[in-house]
Amino acid sequence: MNCCCEANSKPFDKLDPVFDKYKNKPGSLISVLQEAQELYGYLSMETLEYIAKNIGVEASKVHGVATFYTQFRLKPVGKYLIMLCKGTACHVNGANLIEEAICEELSIREGETTEDKLFTLNNVACLGCCSLSPVMMINGETFGKLTSAKTKEILRELKERQSSDQEVDTL
Amino acid sequence: MKLIIGQGSCGNAAGANKVYEAAKQYIKQNSLDIDLTSTGCIGMCYLEPIVETVADNGEKHTYVKVTEALIADIINSLIRNTVLEHISMSQEDKLILSKQTRIVLRNCGNINPEDIEQYIAKGGYKAIEKCLRQMTPKQVIDEVKTSNLRGRGGAGFPTWFKWDAARRSQSESKYMVCNADEGDPGAFMDRSVLEGDPHSIIEGMMIGAYAIGASEGVIYVRAEYPLAIARLKIAIEQAVQRGFLGRNILGTSFSFDMRIKVGAGAFVCGEETALIASMEGERGMPRLKPPFPAQKGYWQQPTNINNVETFANIPWIINNGGSEYAQIGTDKSKGTKVFALTGKIKKGGLVEVPMGISLRDIIFDIGDGIVKDKQFKAVQMGGPSGGCIPVELLNTIVDYESINKTGAIMGSGGMVVMDETTCMVEMARYFLDFTQKESCGKCIHCRLGTKRMLEILERICGGEGKEGDIELLEELANKIKESSLCGLGMTAPNPVLSTLRYFRKEYEQHIYDKKCTAKQCKSLLAYTISKDSCTGCTLCSRKCPTGAISAERKAVHSIDKEKCIKCGKCFEACNFNAVLV
Ligand SMILES: Cc1cc2nc3c(=O)[nH]c(=O)nc-3n(C[C@H](O)[C@H](O)[C@H](O)COP(=O)(O)O)c2cc1C
Ligand code: FES
């Protein structure tokens, strides 16, 4: 939160309708956190504290719930979120090698984001496409029957698309 | 004329989305009078994307592995009433379908899940009508008792017994909950039913709610299933519009509302009491039973929780009678079971088989055996709570007691096939890694014991195993089983115990001989170059990241063991199979 422009002076305005929606529904903390993450991409400390204050729950509890569930991210993610399946079928069919290929290509480890904020790697359990294993999902699109080479190719293509986008931007 | 595209998550991943768009475009561009719809997963994932055509005279035809480029041809042959043989579903594959008994999957792949009318046309919502008009709650429970249906979420507890307990609990408000958290990380049966036939679950829950006297239902779905959530939402909306949900359903005094609660990613939340805590917005920590949910569950009210597949069976049982259901299966396990058949299997996908069928029939007859015809080694059932069944026991039949005897469990239906290239020690390490991360931390043995077991397994796979490790694993395993509060801890050591039972030799080879016969544990591999096959092309040395390969052109290469980091790049690169492991 290092932006000081006007639009951001009330950075949590967008949450107010969410609070209204769940006001009379006890036990909605998880739903509120899910909607907040949807809005902001991740849950910063400030977001968690703001939520705690507004729904009348201790900050420690909000933090406890947010850290308990793997869906919640406390750090921002890159433009492309790579969800690599580490389910049993994918594991048996070599998901480890795919993880190595991704880590090598992007110089990050699981849970990390590249310096240019382009990619984040998250491991997940079964994406339900076991017959195409090993599988990864990038921003909702599924890629199956991966090999190390194919994985690197996909990542390079995304990188290239990004840099050509940037060229267009600067023109 | 009709064109039906299979659009489960798996179909879409294989490209069904694009096929659908291509078909839509083509039909629009050529102003054709063809009805384009989508359906759920039929279970034959290895053939996706699948497209079915229905001619005006009702003649049906199924095409497999369809791409966008083939759409024009398919539509034209539908119009001309011809058939494209080369992409038609083979006789053999049709036979596979005929070997199954489809009760749970009766509508999956046959109706459009986003259209309630199609469900109704297949006899949908007839069962709840029958219950409301002709049966008392007690009679409904008796019918389920006659069917002998046991919970499909893993434990196999008789469904009627839970319903009866909840019915007897006295309270103003009771809840009916569907457990759609599907936590086993190699299984997707529930997802396919949610995506392919959501109304069958809604109807099953309604019948259960009528039986126990609940007026509110909640489906707890895992967040990783966006398509299932979307289709459930549509289904609930349509059911409300058609008057199947809401107040005074079908003009009776029965009222029932339903909503979806989206999970947030925690395996332990599949456990009933943790699931209830999570529904209440808390951390998903299990608690001691009793009181059972049937007495004190969601908001301290009587609550009944069943699995997706359990509910999907219910309308069929009411329509066809409990005794008809009990005709199928073995003495103590009735009906059918859906399995997600995956791993090193040729024809992987979703299969629904009658209880009593042998594992061999499922894997070799329906699944067509092992990829590349390699040697079958084991089949894993029950995921992180289950175990591996070796080749000697392939004739074991599918029924709760028989599977339990092998040290595995029926589980929710994950069936992962492994071949000679799967290392059983590494598999045990994989599952312990999973349960160790997923332990909620409440019980000390589950929290720390699994961590210690994982460390030992990592050591063994890393070539640092030592004498006494196996015994230590066994001791820890038994302690964890004894002193954990919930099913997660009680079953977490199973993958280790079952592999120790059948594959102890592999553990010993890792520890004493420093060998991994499946060639999976990197630290235990040694790369060498065959004098006879090496042509001296230098490709491997160029790929080697550490310069460990001395390579003079046209001379036999060699690998410096000190420098080698066992990354396998040379093995992948060599075109002459000269790199040996
Ligand atoms: C750690 C753990 C995870 C579980 N995960 C699931 C699950 O993902 N889906 C499910 O239906 N049941 C799961 N169960 C079983 C449920 O606790 C419960 O027995 C089941 O939902 C009851 O439904 P049923 O009687 O229809 O099987 C799990 C149990 C444990 C201990
Ligand atoms: S295990 Fe990876 S998609 Fe199922």
Going by pLDDT thresholds of 50, 70 and 90, the confidence category of residue B155 is confident
CA distance B16 to B70: 12
Q: Which residue(s) pair with B261 in the sheet?
A: B220
CB-CB contact of B96 with B86 (8 Å):
no
- Going from the Cα of B153 to the center of ligand 1, the distance in angstroms, rounded, reads 5
Q: What is the pLDDT of residue A125?
A: 84
Name B379's bridge partners.
B389, B417
For residue B520, tell me if it sits in a domain: no
Identify the three-state secondary structure at position B62. strand
Phi first, then psi: what are they for B464, rounded to 5°? -110, 20
Contact B343 A132 (CB under 8 A): no
B172 in any annotated domain: yes
Domain check: are B321 and B342 in the same one?
A: no
Q: How far apart are CA A61 and CA B335, in angstroms?
A: 45
Asked if the Cβ–Cβ distance from B191 to A128 is below 8 Å, we say yes
Over 70: is that where the pLDDT of A4 sits?
A: no
Do the Cβ atoms of B26 and B72 come closer than 8 Å? yes
Starting at the edge strand found earlier in the chain, the sheet holding B349-354 runs B349-354, B336-343, B414-419, B376-381, B387-390
**pLDDT-based confidence at residue A170 (cuts at 50, 70, 90):** low
Task: Return the biggest CA–CA distance within chain B.
Answer: 89
Cα separation, A54 vs A38, whole angstroms: 18
Tokens of B289: 């039973």
Residue B535 has pLDDT above 80, yes or no: yes
Q: Sorting pLDDT into bands at 50, 70 and 90, what band is A6? A: very low
Rounded CA-CA distance B99/B78 in Å is 28
Mean residue pLDDT across chain B? 95
Residue B137: which of B126, B145, B149, B147 has the closest Cα? Answer: B145
Residues pairing with B189 in the sheet: none
- What 3-state class would DSSP assign to B367? coil
Atom of ligand 2 at shortest distance to CA of A134?
2
Task: Assess whether B188 and B299 both reside in one domain.
Answer: yes
pLDDT in tens, A107-153: 999 999 999 999 999 999 888 788 889 999 999 888 999 999 999 99
Q: Do residue B187 and residue A126 have CB atoms under 8 angstroms apart?
A: yes
Residue B446 placed within a domain: yes
Pocket test for ligand 1, best of B276, B307, B309, B446 (most atoms within 8 A of CB): B307
Structure tokens at B12: 């879409």
At B423, list the tokens: 């290392």
Same domain for B430 and B412? Answer: no
Asked if A91 reaches chain B (Cβ–Cβ under 8 Å), the answer is: yes
Q: What is the pLDDT of residues A44-56, one digit of tens each?
A: 999 999 999 999 9
Question: Do B452 and B476 form a contact (C-beta atoms < 8 A)?
Answer: yes
Q: Cβ distance B39 to B19 under 8 Å?
A: no
**Helix (H) or strand (E) segment spanning residue B500:** helix B494-508
Which pLDDT score, from 0 to 100, does residue A5 have? 44
CB count within 10 Å of CB A129 equals 30
- Residue A71, pLDDT > 60, answer yes
* Residues B274 and B144 grouped into a single domain: yes
Relative to beta strand B336-343, strand B349-354 is: antiparallel
Average pLDDT of span B62-67: 96
CA dihedral B427, B43, B14, A124 (to 10 degrees): -40
Dump pLDDT digits (tens) for B193-208. 999 999 999 999 999 9
**Residue B326 dihedral angles phi and psi, to the nearest 5°:** -70, -10
Q: Region B78-97: what's the mean pLDDT?
A: 93
Task: In chain B, count H helices and then E strands.
Answer: 24, 17
Domain boundary among B326, B356, B378: B326
* pLDDT value at B61 more than 70: yes
**B477 plus B368 within the same structural domain:** no
Residue type, A56: G
The CATH code of the domain that includes B27 is 3.40.30.10
If asked whether residues B428 and B359 sit together in one domain, one would say no
DSSP per-residue letters across B193-258: HHHH-HHHHHHHHHHHHHHHT--EEEEEE-TT-HHHHHHHHHHHHHHHHTTSSBSSGGGSS--BEE
User: What is the dihedral sign for C-alpha A77, A81, A83, A84?
Assistant: negative
C-alpha B581/C-alpha B574 separation (Å) is: 12
Closest by CA to B184, choosing from B267, B305, B284, is B267
Verify that B431 and B413 share a domain, yes or no: no
pLDDT in tens, B157-205: 999 999 999 999 999 999 999 999 998 988 899 999 999 999 999 999 9
State the pLDDT at residue B186. 85
What is d(CA B213, CA B216) in angstroms, rounded to the nearest whole number? 9
Least confident interval from B24-33, B155-164, B555-564: B555-564
Q: What percent of chain B has pLDDT over 90?
A: 91
Q: Tell me the pLDDT band of A10, cut-offs 50, 70 and 90.
A: low
Arithmetic mean of pLDDT, B62-68: 95
Here the CATH number for the domain that contains residue B156 is 3.40.50.11540
Tokens, residue B299: 């908001």
d(CA B581, CA B568): 9
Q: What angle do CA A107, A109, A114 make, to 5 degrees?
A: 50
Q: Which residues make beta-bridge pairs with A134?
A: none
Domain boundary, last residue among B300, B326, B352? B326
* Domain shared by B263 and B166, yes or no: yes
Give the pLDDT confidence score for residue A2 in this predicted structure: 47
Report if residue B576 sits inside a domain: yes
Lowest mean pLDDT across A154-168, B261-275, B364-378: A154-168
Judgement on whether residues B238 and B317 belong to the same structural domain of the protein = yes
User: Tokens for B101?
Assistant: 């008994």
Q: B437: domain CATH number?
A: 1.20.1440.230
Q: Please choose from B271, B443, B486 the residue to mutate so as to test ligand 1's pocket, defined by most ligand atoms within 8 A of CB.
A: B271
The answer to whether residue B236 sits within a structural domain is yes
How far is the centre of ligand 1, averaged over its atoms, from the C-alpha of B270 (Å)? 5
Q: How far is B41 from chain A (nearest CA, A)?
A: 11
Q: Where do we find the tokens 């066994």?
A: B474
Inter-chain residue contact B283 with A64, CB threshold 8 Å: yes
| Residue B518 falls inside a structural domain | no
Helix axes B159-168, B137-147, angle to 10 degrees: 160
pTM of the model: 0.93
pLDDT tens digits, residue range B16-25? 999 999 999 9
Positive or negative torsion for Cα B52, B55, B61, B66: negative
Q: Please, which residues have CB within 8 angstroms of residue B305's CB and are 6 or more apart in sequence?
A: B177, B178, B179, B272, B275, B276, B293, B297
Q: Which amino acid is present at B376?
A: F
Asked if the model's pLDDT at residue A1 lies above 60, the reply is: no
User: Domain check: are B123 and B179 in the same one?
Assistant: yes
From B481, B513, B545, the end of a domain falls on: B513
Which atom, in ligand 2's list, is nearest to the CA of A129?
3
Contact B480, B439 (CB under 8 A): no
Predicted local distance difference test score (pLDDT) of residue B332: 95
Q: Are residues B309 and B368 in the same domain?
A: no
Compute the average pLDDT of residues B226-252.
Answer: 97
| The pLDDT value given to residue B224 | 85
Taking only the tens place, the pLDDT of each residue in B295-308 is 999 999 999 999 99
Give domain status of residue B111, yes or no.
Answer: no
pLDDT of residue A3: 47
B477, B446 contact by CB (below 8 A): no
In a domain, B141, yes or no: yes
CA-CA-CA-CA dihedral for B87, B89, B92, B95, to nearest 10: 180
- Average pLDDT for B518-533: 92
Cβ B253 vs Cβ A25: under 8 Å: no
Can you tell me the distance from the alpha carbon of A1 to that of A91, in angstroms, rounded to the nearest whole number?
Answer: 39
Q: Provide the β-strand partners of residue B248.
A: none
Yes or no: say if B382 and B435 are a contact pair by the CB < 8 Å rule.
Answer: no
Domain count, chain B: 5
Q: What is the domain range of residue B535?
A: 526-580
By residue count, chain B amounts to: 581
Tokens representing B190 are: 């529930």
Looking at this predicted complex, what is its ipTM? 0.90
Residue B33's pLDDT band (cuts 50, 70, 90): very high
Q: Which residues have any ligand 1 atom within 6 Å of their CB?
A: B 151-155, 157, 179, 181-183, 267-268, 270-272, 305-307, 310, 412, 486-488
Which residues, listed in sequence order, are joined to residue B343 by a DSSP beta bridge?
B417
CA–chain centroid gap for B210, Å, is 29
Whether residue B22 is found in the same domain as residue B120: no
Predicted pLDDT at A7: 46
Among B130-134, B311-315, B340-344, B572-576, the range scoring the smallest mean pLDDT is B572-576
